[in-house]
Amino acid sequence: MTGRNEIMKNRVKGREKQDATRPARGRPRKTPASGTGASVADIDDEAEDRQRGGVQSLGRAFAIMEEVAHNRDGIALAELSKRVGLHNSTTFHLVQTMVSLGYIRQMKDSKRYRVGRPLFALAASALDEIEMVSLATPVLEDLSRETGESCHFAVRMGDSVVVIARTAGPGAFQLADRVGVVRPAHCTALGKIILAALRPDQLDRLLDRVELKAYTPKSITERSLLKEQIEEIRRSGIAFDDGEFDPEVRCVAMPVRDFSGNVIGSLGISGPIWRLSIQALQGRSRAVQAAAERLSAEFGAPRKLAAVASR
């Protein structure tokens, strides 16, 4: 009896082991993605598929972000899908993810998509002053060699402008302005470009705060005359300083834009009035325009926006 009992116990244990490994009725057995039961080739293929899918999604997301950034007035979903070559549903899901993160925003009235503020914060942190100087300096050096004059790149600092990069020309009698010098906006070509980039209400508030000081007899001290000149600069994309800050110096400047098309600075040349007549300044304006477009492209401005940097 003892031997028979042992045999029965062993049979029961064997059935229990089979039941534990047998898949439940009506459920197909799932092959493990990793670990025991999956071949090394299967695991490698699956990992490669996941990696390929992740890279593809990233590529699509960046393509969408770039296309949105290139359309300053926003872009509709259908047009965006067409531009990036994706189905509407695919574009929608990717865009919604970026909207939830804040990198793209949707305008309530038109439902069009525009770049979100966090992306501007990232761009601003990447394009800091040191990076701007390193990108601007080679452009200014080439412009100085071409024109023979001192070249400057300035950005806004409060209600004034500050020169953050400059180069001297090969000729004699070069200006001795140093990097970091702060200049008034209303009577310098570099500053007028910055003023022309402001919205009308922003310009009015700035003019409420600042004194239109006369540095030379040619300085514009009347608000109405300055606004007229700023409006002309907006139309033409070029600003002049005819001895308005220094009676012995003339300057010409044009705007520099970033990836979104916004004006982030101004680029110009300056020289003594006996060498730089108004005609000479106008003749050199094409070289300044090319330099402004080149620097705009360095800062990420799309080709179309870089081309209008100085118009």
Q: What is the pLDDT of residues 33-54, one digit of tens each?
A: 444 444 444 444 454 555 555 6
The structure tokens listed for 268 are 């110009």
| The pLDDT of residue 72 | 74
Residues 121-154: tens digit of each pLDDT: 676 666 677 788 889 999 999 999 999 999 999 9
| The pLDDT of residue 20 | 46
Q: Against a cut of 0.75, is the pTM above it? A: no
pLDDT at 305 over 70: no
User: Mean per-residue pLDDT for 59-80?
Assistant: 88
| The pLDDT of residue 80 | 93
pLDDT at 251 over 60: yes
In the chain, what percentage of residues exceed pLDDT 70? 75
Residue ranges and CATH numbers for the domains of the chain are 40-121 (1.10.10.10), 127-307 (3.30.450.40)
| The pLDDT of residue 241 | 95
- In terms of average pLDDT, the best of 15-29, 46-60, 249-263 is 249-263
Average pLDDT, the chain: 81
| The pLDDT of residue 73 | 82
